[in-house]
Amino acid sequence: MSGTSMDGVDAVLCDFGTQAARVLASHHIDYPEHLRRALQGLREPGENELHRAAEASAALARLYAECVGGLLTAARIPASRIAALGCHGQTVRHRPERGYSIQLNNAALLAELTGITVVADFRARDIAAGGQGAPLVPAFHDAAFRVSDRHRVILNLGGIANLTDLAPGRATRGFDCGPGNTLMDAWAESTLGRRYDEGGEFAAGGWPIAGLLAAMAHHPFLALAPPKSCGQEQFNLDWVKSLLDGTERPEDVQATLLEFTATAAVQAIGRWCDKPDDLLVCGGGARNRALMRRLAALLPGVRVRTTDDVGIGAEQVEACAFAWLAMRTLRGLPGNLAEATGARAPRVLGAIHPA
């Protein structure tokens, strides 16, 4: 998995033999700066972008293969024992309203480099069936985290945030609820030169700006009813800067972005999920201590913790989800939840590239 934060690649080795997901090993590789810049540049139209996209896709495949190699070496397991490699690819454009979502990848090259069957291009079939192609992780959340005696909500804080509602006796629902790390990361990089605000310390040194927070709360995406999905097309640094007057302290802007991320998620929970017993947080944002404290403060009476406490590390959940989706593809089983994506019905997702 390489998500909208564009920080690197997460790989997990999963066994689905006896339970929803048993993680045997994990590995991470940061994006080289030149590749990260190339990918960021492809979010907007530009010169010779088809060539640039093809080159970036090949570079991604080589990095994915390197990450898989590191994972298997650490686990001491040969590639011949792997049933399939599920690879999401790197999202650079998400426009389901126009009928497409682009995840850069060269799955054929990845299969060639690893000697493993690759399942990729998961979103296209859901979009073809009238869905938004996202979020796809709620189906896995249902398989991995649902229990019969507690109302759980899963909050995935990647670049974009999404929620999965696992209420006993009710069908699973899921939807994107707003920004995850994307705005906080972008502001930290533009002001501090760092890729992210580690632990939320920069935000903790400031105070939310009431007027800025109120302006952000009027973003039209927040008022939409599920099913819905979003990306950096909706939430980006240019949008933040358009709301500033230039007198704000950088740390106060960071604090406001953290508050906006937390309140957007909490308000969506209250509006669409009722009050849960547990909020289980995954994704890189689960390591933002200031953000986790704020979520807990905004949800009195709810047990707020990370998915580490229920068996899957917070940074491993999305990679596990695409391994699970690859397994579903090979077995001819649907991978989407129509309630989450808006597709006409469940569909078998993904394209298979044999080893």
Q: What is the pTM of this model?
A: 0.95
pLDDT at residue number 337: 96
- C-alpha span between 157 and 15 (Å, rounded): 24
Q: Where are the domains of the chain?
A: 8-133+316-353, 137-310
The pLDDT score that the predictor gives to residue 6 is 87
Q: Residue by residue, what is the 3-state secondary structure of 64-111?
A: HHHHHHHHHHHHCCCHHHCCCEECCCEEEEEEHHHCEEEEECCHHHHH
Instruction: Report CA torsion sign: 87, 6, 340, 227.
Output: negative
Is pLDDT at 326 greater than 80 in this prediction?
yes
Question: Is pLDDT above 90 for 4?
Answer: no
Residue 7's pLDDT is 87
Give CA separation, 220 vs 65, 90, 215, 230, in Å. 40, 26, 11, 11
Section 251-261 average pLDDT: 98
**pLDDT tens readout for residues 84-112:** 999 999 999 999 999 999 999 999 999 99
Q: Which CATH superfamily is domain 8-133+316-353 in?
A: ATPase, nucleotide binding domain (3.30.420.40)
- The two tokens of residue 58 are 């090949």
Largest CA distance in the chain: 59
Task: Encode pLDDT of 258-305 as tens digits.
Answer: 999 999 999 999 999 999 999 999 999 999 999 999 999 999 999 999
CB distance 57 to 113 below 8 Å: no
Kindly report whether the peptide bond that precedes residue 220 is cis, defined as omega within 30 degrees of 0. no
pLDDT of residue 31: 95
Contact 36, 225 (CB under 8 A): no
Phi, psi of 22 (to 5 degrees): -120, 115
* Tokens matching residue 61: 């495949």
In the chain, what percentage of residues exceed pLDDT 90? 97
Residues paired with 2 in a beta bridge: 90
Phi, then psi, of 48 in degrees rounded to 5? 55, 40
C-alpha torsion sign, points 140, 145, 150, 152: negative
pLDDT at 5 over 90: no
- What are the pLDDT digits (tens) for 170-220? 999 999 999 999 999 999 999 999 999 999 999 999 999 999 999 999 999
Q: Distance between CA 246 and CA 238 in Å, rounded?
A: 13
pLDDT at 19 over 90: no
Residue 240: CB atoms within 10 Å: 21
pLDDT band at residue 341, thresholds of 50, 70 and 90? very high
Q: Are 186 and 236 in contact (CB under 8 A)?
A: yes
Confidence of residue 316 (pLDDT cuts 50, 70, 90): very high
What is the rounded distance in angstroms from the CA atom of residue 138 to the CA atom of residue 149? 19
The answer to whether the bond into 227 is cis (omega within 30° of 0) is: yes
Which pLDDT value is given to residue 21? 86
pLDDT computed for residue 50 by the predictor: 96
pLDDT in tens, 27-77: 999 999 999 999 999 999 999 999 999 999 999 999 999 999 999 999 999
Superfamily (CATH) of domain 137-310:
ATPase, nucleotide binding domain (3.30.420.40)
pLDDT value, residue 175: 97
Q: Work out the pLDDT band at 18, boundaries 50, 70, 90.
A: confident
CA distance 113 to 117: 11
CA distances from 165 to 112, 239, 257, 263 (A): 39, 29, 24, 17
